Amino acid sequence: MSKIDEITRENWIMSTFPEWGTWLNEEIENEEVKPGTVAMWWLGCTGMWFKTPGGCNITVDLWCGNGKRSHGDGKMKVGHQMANMCGARAMQPNLRAVPFVIDPFAIKGVDAVLATHYHQDHMSAEYAAHVIKSGMMTTDENGKEIPVPFIGPKKSVELWEKWGVPADRCITVRPGDSIKIKDIEIIALDSFDRTCIVTTDSQGEDREELTGKCPTDMDDKAVNYLIKTPGGNIYHSGDSHYSIYFAKHGKDYDIDVAFGSYGENPVGMQDKMTSVDILRMAEALRCKVVVPIHYDVWTNFMADVNEINVLYHMKKDRLGYEFHPFFWEVGGKYVYPTDKEKRAYHHRRGFEDCFEAPQNIPFRSLL
Ligand SMILES: [Fe+2]
């Protein structure tokens, strides 16, 4: 058979997807985390993998989906949270803009699956299926073997259970709750994701009417996390918008690294933090490093991190900022505090062993 005869759409998809294959899975497995540090990998959107010296691996908001893949009827559901927010009816052109850097089905072990909230870009049925079907285990505080827990706010737990995750595998957290796993402690904190407040259970003409209702269920819908690790305390704000209460979290906890959901909001939207919000969040949290995330994933919310950089340099001396921003790349590793002084990430460039083997070129001064 010729090459042309062998090629099908299916084998093209299988040989190119996920784009990074198991490259990152292997990198994470092989990473030896040094005492007093914590290693993190950005999985895209707000997806994060944490690995500690004590061999604790947790994921937050690991998600394996995408956005629009067809123009369809060009319409958005009447009760979609963005339709609720601004009264738009035309389809949102949110196409996934980053590659899949991790293969959820090739994950060999994890100690907990965490979600900050239940929106589609923050939870994965594929990953949940793999964790359940592969019988993944971890150990509890006393060293006893237990099935890997799924940890999230009430609405996330409801979604996991709807997908078929057994109820006894799920742990519902509310602000103030704390869970210890190996050498980390996870503290659930208040979320400020007001997009969750305008998210209704039913989407369609029978959507719940929100007008005039005072919502009181934020803690059931979303949480932020403080993850205490041997390498420092990491603050994951999920999809929180800016809130004055970041300042309270900054007073209650020592925060080393803070992740904030950044994006260029289309006109009519207030969903992601702006550059100013990211700096205000970092200042309020009194963190040492602030890392913008989420701006990578949706074509219609993509934003330039240089905007944060320009404003940071404008304001840092006058306001006495004690933090700096770090600009990351999806699929990249960040080790804290080892990489504390880094300001921007570049993927490994390779060719470290140049000239260690003989060249094969016409003459030495050719290039
Ligand atoms: Fe999101």
Report how far residue 342's alpha carbon sits from residue 328's, in angstroms, rounded to the nearest whole number: 10
Is 169 a member of any domain?
A: yes
Does the structure show a pLDDT above 90 at 178?
A: yes
pLDDT band at 207 (very low <50, low <70, confident <90, very high): confident
- Tally the domains of the chain: 1
Is 339 a member of any domain?
A: no
pLDDT in tens, 134-154: 999 999 888 899 999 999 999
pLDDT in tens, 250-298: 999 999 999 999 999 999 999 999 999 999 999 999 999 999 999 999 9
pLDDT at site 343: 98
Q: How far is the CA of 184 from the centre of ligand 1 (A)?
A: 25
Cα–Cα distances (Å) from 124 to 41, 77, 165, 329, in that order, read: 17, 21, 12, 21
Does the structure show a pLDDT above 90 at 240?
A: yes
Report how far residue 356's alpha carbon sits from residue 359's, in angstroms, rounded to the nearest whole number: 9
Helix (H, G, I), strand (E, B) or coil at 185: strand
**Nearest Cα to 239, choosing from 295, 305, 316, 172?**
295
Q: How far is the CA of 21 from the centre of ligand 1 (A)?
A: 24
Cα–Cα distances (Å) from 58 to 117, 293, 296, 353, in that order, read: 16, 18, 22, 34
pLDDT at site 364: 96
Question: pTM for the full model?
Answer: 0.97
Q: How far is the CA of 292 from the centre of ligand 1 (A)?
A: 13
Report how far residue 225's alpha carbon sits from residue 114's, in angstroms, rounded to the nearest whole number: 9
Give all strands (DSSP E) within 56-190, no chain letters.
57-60, 112-114, 137-139, 145-147, 150-152, 170-172, 178-181, 184-190
Residues of the domain holding 123: 14-334
Is 344 a member of any domain?
A: no
The identity of residue 223, as a single letter, is V
3-state secondary structure 130-149: HHHHCCCEEECCCCCEEECC
Is 200 a member of any domain?
A: yes
How far is C-alpha 36 from the chain's CA centre? Answer: 23
Does the structure show a pLDDT above 90 at 16?
A: yes
pLDDT at site 142: 85
Q: How far is the CA of 11 from the centre of ligand 1 (A)?
A: 31
Tokens standing for residue 184: 């980390």
Q: How far is the CA of 241 from the centre of ligand 1 (A)?
A: 11
Q: How far is the CA of 352 from the centre of ligand 1 (A)?
A: 38
Is 356 a member of any domain?
A: no
The CATH number assigned to the domain holding 20 equals 3.60.15.10
pLDDT at site 136: 97
pLDDT at site 143: 87
User: How does the average pLDDT of the chain come out, rounded?
Assistant: 97
pLDDT at site 320: 98
Is 304 a member of any domain?
A: yes
Helix (H, G, I), strand (E, B) or coil at 198: coil
Report how far residue 237's alpha carbon sits from residue 219's, in angstroms, rounded to the nearest whole number: 13
Q: What protein residues have CB closer than 5 angstroms to ion ligand 1?
A: 121, 239
Q: How far is the CA of 271 from the centre of ligand 1 (A)?
A: 9
Q: How far is the CA of 169 from the centre of ligand 1 (A)?
A: 24
Is 361 a member of any domain?
A: no
Does the structure show a pLDDT above 90 at 345?
A: yes
Q: How far is the CA of 95 from the centre of ligand 1 (A)?
A: 13
Is 175 a member of any domain?
A: yes
Q: How far is the CA of 45 from the centre of ligand 1 (A)?
A: 7
pLDDT at site 141: 80
Q: How far is the CA of 317 from the centre of ligand 1 (A)?
A: 32
Q: How far is the CA of 186 from the centre of ligand 1 (A)?
A: 21
Q: How far is the CA of 122 from the centre of ligand 1 (A)?
A: 6
pLDDT at site 203: 82
pLDDT at site 50: 98
pLDDT band at 361 (very low <50, low <70, confident <90, very high): very high
pLDDT at site 280: 98
